[in-house]
Amino acid sequence: MLKTIRDINFKDKKVFIRVDYNVPVDKEGNIQDDFRIKLTVPTINFILKQMPKQVIFGCHVGRPKNFDNYEEHLKTNKIAEKLGELIDMPIKKIDDWNQSNHDKNNPNNCLIMLENLRFNQAEKSEVQEERDEFGKILAEDVDVFVEEAFSNCHRDHASMTSVPKFVKQKCVGFLVENELKMISETIKDPEHPFVSIIGGVKADKINAIQNLLKTADKILIGSSLAMLFYKIGGKEIGKTKIDLEGLDTDAERIIKAYLENPKIILPIDVVIGESINNKKEETAIVSIDEIPEDKKVLDIGPESIKNYNIIIKQAKTIVWNGPLGYIENEVFAEATKKVAEAIVETTHHHDAKSIIGGGDGVSAAHKFGYADKITFISSGGGASLKLFEGKELIALKILE
């Protein structure tokens, strides 16, 4: 059974908190969005009130490519500064991972931010021994390990799954606890009608659909995923980009069964164009049976939006993962916007619970100004998708 920070006495302890501060930064390392940092503040404040001896923060930023000459903008210096501002306490940034070199009895070393964990190749090494060796360094003299990097909980990385092996007490913070409660528990035991919306490109989302079908009343499919379904069903989808590589051996059989399932709702009309950069006047709306061979499907059409929103407005539980069109271009963001508006209306006027499960859906909510009007927004894309699939998260299993 998972312990939470409520179960641990942190007084005079040395604490390692694995946080998710993989925030967007510019070329100078300036933080563009501190949403993920703010999410961890309640956990940090709870621990600090108990007067621990020392707190170590470990995180990764971006995908470093140079392991000999670290990319300046991916260093954690400005993240340490921002966190210090948010909790109103100075944080000492160190340039490596040997926090044991910094005396925990020295008041100046009370709060330490390690350098970007992914600057060390062992963090993501495919060799278990290498990950464990790095994990042992990170865990040196640590009394309590706190998992607060939900978005990384599906990854078998040193700081996620090796560090806990060498620490006696381990638990999850408020953020992870809340993610599990809101996503897993809602999907297992939702208030009905329960409507799920699944978009995006990746074919492996059929695993999530398979699990959602156990409790969902309707599942609305959009974007390239819907076109993948139609392609396997024998329809013309033109030059639409679909994820055939993401299909496993049983996928075609499963998708063909989905096409006959009354719970699965697919678009009946779509917006087509030659390019993702098309202007509105260069696009057209056509029936799902009239997609030309030389065009791409880039959004679902107005009739489909109308159908989807009728279903959404009857829901008491709504779970959404992935945009319904190519939202990077405003021309193809209409369905995602309209569906988001319907979710917000249903949440506030019909007392529904609404959850956005990480990734591009979260980006869309922030982009269109709906983020603060949704019941819960997950901080993790891949991790939340694993919960949608009903699967265990490897970094949490090791804490049990």
Q: Is residue 397 part of a domain?
A: no
* pLDDT level of residue 346 (50, 70, 90 thresholds): very high
Name the H helices within the chain: 35-39, 41-48, 77-87, 128-138, 174-179, 186-188, 206-212, 223-232, 251-258, 302-312, 334-349, 360-367, 382-388, 394-397
Query: What is the C-alpha separation between 148 and 196, in angstroms, rounded?
Result: 27
* Predicted confidence (pLDDT) per residue in 183-218, tens digit: 999 999 999 999 999 998 989 899 999 999 999 999
- pLDDT above 80 for 67: no
Residues 278, 205, single domain; the answer is: yes
Instruction: Indicate the pairing of strand 264-265 with strand 144-148.
Output: unpaired
* pLDDT level of residue 105 (50, 70, 90 thresholds): low
Domain range holding 96?
5-172
CATH number of the domain to which 42 belongs: 3.40.50.1260
Please tell me the predicted confidence (pLDDT) of residue 246: 76
Residues 310, 249, single domain; the answer is: yes
Q: Does the pTM of the predicted model rise above 0.75?
A: yes
The last residue of one of the domains, among 152, 172, 192, is: 172
* Predicted confidence (pLDDT) per residue in 168-188, tens digit: 999 999 999 999 999 999 999
- Least confident segment among 143-152, 163-172, 319-328: 319-328
* pLDDT level of residue 117 (50, 70, 90 thresholds): very high
Residues 11, 118, single domain; the answer is: yes
SS3 of residue 321 by DSSP:
strand
Q: Is residue 234 part of a domain?
A: yes
Residues 211, 355, single domain; the answer is: yes
* Predicted confidence (pLDDT) per residue in 211-258, tens digit: 999 999 999 999 999 999 999 999 999 999 999 887 877 888 999 999
Please tell me the predicted confidence (pLDDT) of residue 2: 95
Active-site positions?
A: 36, 202, 359, 382
Q: Is residue 25 part of a domain?
A: yes
Q: Is residue 399 part of a domain?
A: no
How many domains does the structure of the chain reveal? 2
